[in-house]
Amino acid sequence: MELTPLIQELNQGKHLANQLRTHLHLSSSSHAVHLIHQILRSYDNALLSLESTPVPTNAPVKNRDVSKKRKVMPKWSERVKVASASASAVEGPLHDGFSWRKYGQKDILGSKFPRGYFRCSHRFTLGCKATKQVQKSDTDPTIYEVTYKGTHTCNRPLHSKTQQQQHHQKPSLQHPMPPKQEQRPDDDEPSCQSFSPEVAAIHVKSEMFDDIDIDNGFCRPLRPPSLLFESEVQDDDQSPFRESEWFGLCCDFETGVVSIPNSVTNNICIEELEEYCSFDNLELFC
């Protein structure tokens, strides 16, 4: 499509801005860092707008879409590292704010660990078609690879009041948080939600956005934080970090890996992450 060079150009500009921010951060100019952040947000917003732009009807159609095959849902994956050894195969990586129900598990050829299949709990009540797959990494059992498919149309993230009533669910993949964190004394909408200290790193990788269903009323998938988003992220974690530390976060803008040192995870607010890692797109469109 014609927009691809434009998207690449924007990505390049964003990448350069990231580099500039790193330099500015080293000079401890908070105002400059803030300005860079605004620039990056503009890049993100522009990219989001482009990616949600409907393809013109006269655009060439991919061969595989000509048939009546079922629509391919937007899909992306995360790799979530769970530092705690207590995390077993049935426990999940990261509480992602939505309520999931497990509907299957399969042994995958060539993989040591089975893959769990989850769908949104509101599949039948609200017709939410979001699903996710969770599988332990073969190479590092502390890393869970989470693949999301489809968008949440239920508009009910777990931290809303309605979802918090589901605390009776037994701990499973959708409740990887330690019980102490689940039982917040404040049942109202939390203004500051802490990360689980078990989560040491989150790796978000886009896998496919070329079949976004524009017609279903949700032209944008529930996507990972845009700052962490790279369209062509290498799957290996061998590349060295290029670090930029904000509030203790180590953001590798090349690979999309955000490391959260355990010493600070208890003090990081979601809102701070939203502010500084463009998390705000996460639930805005679902």
Partner DNA sequence: CTTATTTGACCGGC
Partner DNA sequence: GCCGGTCAAATAAG
**Does residue 106 interact with DNA by CB under 7 A?**
yes
**Does residue 166 interact with DNA by CB under 7 A?**
yes
Q: How many residues bind DNA (CB under 7 A)?
A: 28
β pairing state of 257-259 and 249-252: antiparallel
CA distances from 182 to 68, 95, 280 (A): 44, 10, 22
**Does residue 160 interact with DNA by CB under 7 A?**
no
Residue 277 in contact with residue 228, Cβ under 8 Å? Answer: yes
Tell me, residue by residue from 188 to 227, as one string, x for binding to DNA by CB under 7 A and - for no binding.
Answer: ----------------------------------------
Place of tokens 């490391």: 259
Place of tokens 């989150």: 202
Task: Return the number of other C-beta atoms located less than 10 Å from residue 254's C-beta.
Answer: 16
Q: Alpha-carbon distance 229 to 278, whole Å?
A: 10
What 3-state DSSP class applies to 31?
A: helix
Residue 115 in contact with residue 106, Cβ under 8 Å? Answer: yes
Whose CA is closest to 173, among 79, 85, 91?
91
Of positions 21, 33, 48, 131, contacts DNA by CB under 7 A: 131
**Does residue 172 interact with DNA by CB under 7 A?**
yes
Of positions 31, 62, 69, 180, contacts DNA by CB under 7 A: 69
Segment interacting with DNA (CB under 7 A) among 52-60, 108-116, 194-202, 269-277:
108-116
Residues 75-94 that bind DNA (CB under 7 A): 90
Q: Which is nearer to DNA, 32 or 89 (CB)?
A: 89
| Positions that interact with DNA (CB under 7 A) | 64, 69-70, 90, 101-110, 115-117, 119, 121, 131, 133, 149, 166, 168-170, 172, 174
